[in-house]
Amino acid sequence: MSEQKLTQARLKELLHYDPDTGIWIKAQKYISRGRLSKTYGNQAGYISKSNGYRYIGINNIAYLSSRLVFLYVEGYTPENQVDHINRIRHDDRWINLRHVSASCNNRNVGIRVTNTSGITGVYWHKIKEGWTVCIHGNGKRINFNSCNNFDHAVKIRWEAEKKYNYPNCNSTSPAYLYLERNNLL
């Protein structure tokens, strides 16, 4: 038997998706590991310990839950990536998901654990003894001159984010939040 592509109709036969909670419930016809599941009515899927995303197994294939949401709600599987706006990888509520390009998805990341300034793209340059700002735009890293004033460096970062269209991708810019919190906008 050849493997058939999962369709919206077939997905709706197997599972029920609640867009308000992001939870999937198994239907009576749910098939897991090639067998009819006797656990219908239970929540479907698991959260991967390695990457934090929710997966759902259908006919021996592990699907990303967030991609199945688009098939269930909109009737298509996203060509590009699915971004979790709030950055919680297993929060598959419809309001939290958006179909975006890889570059846009990469912009909506949290602050790295190695970041010491609290602002993405703003760091202390030991040799220049000043705050340095960098951003990725047009496929390359762009560096700005160092300055001694942290607030000024954060303003430079925010202006660069606006120039390179980060606000449309980044749901909570640390630079913007810092400037707003300190009445510097």
Quote the DSSP letter at residue 79: S
Alpha-carbon gap, residue 43 to 40, rounded angstroms: 8
Quote the DSSP letter at residue 147: E
**For residue 42, what pLDDT is reported?**
85
Q: Which phi and psi angles does 167 have, rounded to 5°?
A: -55, -25
Q: Determine the CATH number of domain 109-181.
A: 1.20.5
**For residue 111, what pLDDT is reported?**
86
Nearest Cα residue to 92 out of 112, 63, 113: 63
**For residue 34, what pLDDT is reported?**
52
Alpha-carbon gap, residue 105 to 18, rounded angstroms: 24
**For residue 110, what pLDDT is reported?**
80
In the predicted model, residues of the chain with pLDDT beneath 50 are 1-3
Specify the fold of 8-100. Homing Intron 3 (I-Ppo) Encoded Endonuclease; Chain A (3.90.75)
**For residue 60, what pLDDT is reported?**
87
- Indicate the domain borders of the chain: 8-100, 109-181
- Cβ within 8 Å of residue 32, ≥6 positions away: 57, 58
In terms of Cβ atoms closer than 10 Å to its own Cβ (0-12, 13-18, 19+), residue 131 is buried
